[in-house]
C-alpha cells in the first residue's frame, strides 16, 4: 500500500509540488530567521566569547549586561586578588571611542584595554603582526573588519597609523574577533594605554577578569568573590547569557523575529494543511473504493501519514538546504560573520515541520476515517 | 455444502432516527445462489444500492438476519469484516473508481496489494489477467488513457484477481451504449460466473436482463418477487 500512497501523492504534480513548496518555504523562513536571531543575540556577547583565557568576570553588583558597566576601583581589584581560591585577577577596560583614518574616514570603535603584563583577553587568532609589540607606546591591535573599514581594498599590513582621540596610534597586529552586536571595529591595547586614549576619569576599570586556582570550582569562586567584595562575579558563560537575555527582554528584536517565525509557521500549516485536505477530498472516492475492497482504516491512515511525512521530509530538506546555502554564500562576508545555522535550529525546525505535517494531515485523516465505504455505490 | 452465497431474512435498514427516520429496507427476503448471476432490479430509490451495500458489508443492517457465504457479516467486528471483504468479495463500481495515478495493471492488482502481496508479483498476475481480458497491450496505460470499456475491463480484473466467491456489481452498463453494454455483460458472464462463485448485479438497464440467471425485483424497500431467467442459456 506504500506504493499506492506514493503514486497517489506524486500523481497530482501540481498539488504535490504545492505541498513541498509550502513546507520548504516555511522551513526556510523559520530556520533562516531563527538563525539570524541567534546570530544576532550571540553577537551581544561577542567580547565575552573572544576572551578565552578568563572564565570569571567580576563587575559592579548592579551590572545588567556587558555593554553598560559602572567602573570598578583599583581597590576592588586588590580585594579580588585577595580572595581565597583566586589564581590571578587582571583588569579589563571596555569602552568606546572614535578613530580616524589618514584619508579622513572615521568611525566609532570598541576599545578593549587588556592587562599590561599578560594581555589576557586578546583574541587567539592573529592574522598579521605580533601582539608583543603592544608593549610599545601608542600601539593597538585591530580586528580585521575594522582594518577593512579604515583601509578598504588594501592588503592587510601592519605599522599603519590611525588617529584615536588625538593620539596617533600604530597598528601592530590584525586579529580575528567575533562580530560585536553593533558591528563596530574593535581595538585592543594595553590597559594603561586604553586609559590614556579615552581620557581620565577617576575610575576606568570595566571588569576584572579572574581565574580560579586548580581544584576550586568557578561557581564557588564566584560565591567567594561576591561574599568578600560585594561585587557581582559570574562565569563568562553566565555573563554571556545575562547579556543575551538583556537584549531579548529590553529590545523589540525577539518580537520582530518571533512574528516572522510565527507567520512562517501559520503559512506553512495553513497552506500545507489546506492543500493536503483538498488533495484528500479529491481522492475521497478512491479512498472509499480502497475501504470497500478491504483496506483497513489503519492502513489508510498509514498511507496518508506516509504521504504527509514524504512531503514534510522533502520540503524540509529543500528549505533547510536553502538556509544552509544562504549562510554558505555569505560566509566570506565579514559583516555577516557569526551568522550560521546551529544544529539545534535544524533539529528544532525539523520538529516544527513534523508538527505541521501531522496537523495538516490530521483533518484529512479524520475525513477518511468517518468516510462510509458505501459512498462508492452512490453515483 | 452451502449452495447459497447470500441469504437475507427480513433485513431492515433505516437512516436517521425518530421523526427523521427513513426506512429504506423494510424486511428484505432474498437468496443469491452460488454459480449464478443474479440481478437486483427496480425503480430508482427502491433500495437496490442500499441492499447491495448491506450485502457487501459496507453498511450494517438495522435488523433481520443476513448471511454472506455462511457468515453473519454484520455480526463481525469491523476489522474482521474488512478482512472478510478483502478475501471474499470483488467489487465493480458504477464509476469504476480506478486510481488515476496507477496503471491498468497496478489498479487491477490493488486487492492483492491490500492482501500484502509483493508489488512485482501482484502486478505480474494483474498483467496476465488483463491479457486474458484483451487488454494485454494497455497494461501500462493510466485510466485517463483508456476508453470506458477498457476501464470497465480493468475494473473487472480488479474484482476478479483475488478469486473472490461473491462479486457485486453496481450498474455496470449504465454509462455504456446497448452494443457495448451487451459486450461487457457477455464478458462478465464469461469470466465471473463459476460454480463456486455468485455474481450479484444491481441494474435498472432492462436491455441486459437476459444475461441474468435470476432477477430479483425490488420496490419500496422490499424484494417483491424473484424470477428465474436462464442467463442466455
Q: Which residues of A touch B93 (CB under 8 A)?
A: 289, 292, 376-377
Note which residues in 96-115 of chain B have CB less than 8 A from chain A.
Answer: 97, 99-102, 106, 110-111, 113-115
Model confidence pLDDT, tens digit, residues A102-131: 998 888 899 999 999 999 988 888 999 998
Instruction: Give the percent of chain B with pLDDT over 70.
Output: 97
Phi, psi of B4 (to 5 degrees): -105, 125
**Does residue A45 surpass a pLDDT of 90?**
no
Inter-chain residue contact A379 with B95, CB threshold 8 Å: yes
DSSP assignment of chain B: ---EEEEEEEEEEEES-GGG-EEEEEEEEEEEETTSEEEEE-STTSSHHHHHHHHTTSS--SEEEEEETTB-GGGS-HHHHHHHHHHHEEEE-TT----TTS-HHHHHTHHHHHTT--HHHHHHHHHHHHHHTT-GGGTT--GGGS-HHHHHHHHHHHHHTT--SEEEEESTTTTS-HHHHHHHHHHHHHHH--TT-EEEEE---GGGGGG-SEEEEEETTEEEEEEE--TT-
Q: pTM of the full predicted structure?
A: 0.73
Residue A201 pLDDT: 58
Residue A25's CB is within 10 A of a number of other CB atoms, namely 19
Average pLDDT over residues A277-294: 83
CA–CA distances in Å: residue A44 to residues A40, A68, A98, A182, B165: 7, 12, 20, 8, 75
Where residue A203 falls among pLDDT bands split at 50, 70, 90?
Answer: low
Name which of A11, A286, A294 is nearest B85 (Cβ-Cβ).
A294
Confidence (pLDDT) at B229: 76
| pLDDT single digits (tens) A204-262 | 678 899 999 999 999 999 999 999 999 999 999 999 998 888 888 877 788 888 888 78
CB nearest to B82's CB, from A286, A294, A378: A294
pLDDT at A282: 81
Per-residue confidence at B2, pLDDT binned at 50, 70, 90?
low
Domains and CATH numbers, chain B: 4-228 (3.40.50.300)
Q: Which three cell numbers stand for residue A192?
A: 594603561
Q: Best of A288, A292, A302, A310 to disrupt the B interface by mutation (most B CBs within 10 Å)?
A: A292
Give the pLDDT band (50/70/90) at residue A200.
Answer: low
- Write out pLDDT tens, residues A298-331: 888 888 888 888 888 999 999 999 999 998 888 7
Three-state SS for A31?
helix
Question: Tens digit of pLDDT for each residue in A339-348?
Answer: 888 899 899 8
Q: Is the pLDDT at B78 greater than 90, yes or no? A: no
In this complex, the residue of A12, A296, A378 whose CB is nearest that of residue B82 is A296
Note whether A317 contacts B: Cβ–Cβ < 8 A.
no
- State the pLDDT confidence band at B231, using cuts at 50, 70 and 90: low
pLDDT at B142: 92
Distance from C-alpha of A326 to C-alpha of A194, rounded to nearest angstrom:
39
B19-41 pLDDT per residue, tens: 888 888 999 999 998 888 899 99
Amino acid at each position: 500500500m506504500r506504493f499506492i500512497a506514493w503514486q497517489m501523492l506524486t500523481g497530482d504534480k501540481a498539488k504535490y509540488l504545492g505541498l513541498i513548496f509550502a513546507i520548504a518555504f516555511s522551513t526556510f523562513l523559520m530556520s533562516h530567521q531563527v538563525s539570524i536571531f541567534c546570530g544576532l543575540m550571540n553577537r551581544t556577547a561577542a567580547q565575552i566569547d573572544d576572551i578565552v583565557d578568563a572564565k570569571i568576570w567580576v563587575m559592579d553588583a548592579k551590572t545588567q549586561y556587558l555593554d553598560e558597566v559602572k567602573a570598578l576601583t583599583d581597590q576592588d581589584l586588590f580585594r579580588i586578588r585577595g580572595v581565597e581560591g583566586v589564581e590571578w585577577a587582571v583588569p579589563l577596560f571596555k569602552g568606546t571611542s572614535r578613530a580616524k583614518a589618514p584619508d579622513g574616514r572615521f568611525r566609532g570603535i570598541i576599545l578593549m584595554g587588556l592587562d599590561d603584563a599578560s594581555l589576557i583577553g586578546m583574541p587567539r587568532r592573529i592574522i598579521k603582526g605580533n601582539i608583543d609589540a603592544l608593549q610599545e607606546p601608542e600601539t593597538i591591535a585591530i580586528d580585521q573588519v575594522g582594518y577593512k573599514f579604515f583601509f578598504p581594498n588594501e592588503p592587510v599590513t601592519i605599522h599603519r597609523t590611525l588617529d584615536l582621540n588625538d593620539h596617533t596610534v600604530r597598528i601592530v597586529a590584525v586579529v580575528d574577533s567575533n562580530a560585536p552586536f553593533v558591528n563596530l571595529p574593535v581595538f585592543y591595547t594595553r590597559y594603561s594605554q586604553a586609559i590614556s586614549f579615552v581620557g581620565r576619569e577617576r575610575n576606568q576599570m570595566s571588569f576584572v577578569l579572574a581565574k580560579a586556582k586548580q581544584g576550586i570550582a568557578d561557581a564557588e569562586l564566584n560565591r567567594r568573590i561576591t561574599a568578600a567584595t560585594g561585587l557581582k562575579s559570574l562565569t563568562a558563560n553566565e555573563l554571556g547569557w545575562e547579556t543575551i537575555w538583556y537584549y531579548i527582554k529590553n529590545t523589540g528584536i525577539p518580537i520582530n523575529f518571533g512574528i516572522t517565525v510565527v507567520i512562517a509557521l501559520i503559512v506553512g500549516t495553513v497552506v500545507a494543511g489546506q492543500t493536503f485536505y483538498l488533495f484528500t477530498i479529491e481522492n475521497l472516492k478512491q479512498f472509499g473504493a480502497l475501504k470497500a475492497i478491504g483496506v483497513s482504516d489503519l492502513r489508510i491512515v498509514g498511507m496518508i501519514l506516509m504521504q504527509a511525512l514524504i512531503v514534510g521530509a522533502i520540503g524540509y530538506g529543500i528549505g533547510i538546504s536553502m538556509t544552509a546555502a544562504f549562510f554558505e554564500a555569505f560566509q566570506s562576508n565579514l559583516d555577516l560573520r557569526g551568522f550560521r545555522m546551529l544544529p539545534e535550529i535544524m533539529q528544532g525546525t525539523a520538529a516544527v515541520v513534523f508538527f505541521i505535517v501531522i496537523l495538516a494531515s490530521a483533518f484529512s485523516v479524520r475525513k477518511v476515517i468517518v468516510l462510509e465505504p458505501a459512498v462508492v455505490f452512490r453515483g | 455444502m452451502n449452495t447459497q452465497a447470500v441469504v437475507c431474512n427480513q433485513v431492515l435498514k433505516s437512516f436517521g432516527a425518530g421523526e427523521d427516520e427513513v426506512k429504506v429496507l423494510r424486511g428484505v427476503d432474498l437468496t443469491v445462489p452460488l454459480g449464478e448471476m443474479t440481478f437486483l432490479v427496480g425503480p430508482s430509490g427502491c433500495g437496490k444500492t442500499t441492499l447491495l451495500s448491506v450485502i457487501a458489508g459496507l453498511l450494517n443492517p438495522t435488523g433481520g438476519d443476513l448471511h454472506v457465504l455462511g457468515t453473519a457479516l454484520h455480526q463481525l467486528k469491523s476489522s474482521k469484516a474488512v478482512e472478510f471483504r478483502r478475501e471474499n468479495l470483488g467489487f465493480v463500481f458504477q464509476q469504476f473508481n480506478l486510481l488515476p495515478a496507477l496503471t491498468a495493471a497496478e489498479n487491477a492488482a490493488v486487492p492483492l496489494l491490500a492482501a500484502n502481496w509483493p508489488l512485482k508479483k501482484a502486478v505480474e498476475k494483474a498483467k496476465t489477467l488483463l491479457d486474458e481480458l484483451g487488454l494485454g497491450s494497455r497494461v501500462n496505460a493510466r485510466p485517463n488513457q483508456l476508453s470506458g470499456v477498457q476501464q470497465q475491463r480493468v475494473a473487472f480484473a480488479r474484482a476478479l484477481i483475488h478469486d473472490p466467491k461473491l462479486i457485486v456489481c453496481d450498474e455496470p452498463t449504465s454509462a455504456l451504449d446497448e452494443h457495448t453494454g451487451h459486450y461487457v455483460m457477455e464478458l462478465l458472464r464469461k469470466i465471473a460466473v463459476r460454480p463456486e462463485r455468485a455474481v450479484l448485479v444491481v441494474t435498472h438497464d432492462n436491455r441486459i436482463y437476459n444475461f441474468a440467471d435470476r432477477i430479483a425485483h425490488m420496490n419500496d424497500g422490499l424484494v417483491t418477487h424473484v424470477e428465474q431467467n436462464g442467463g442466455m442459456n
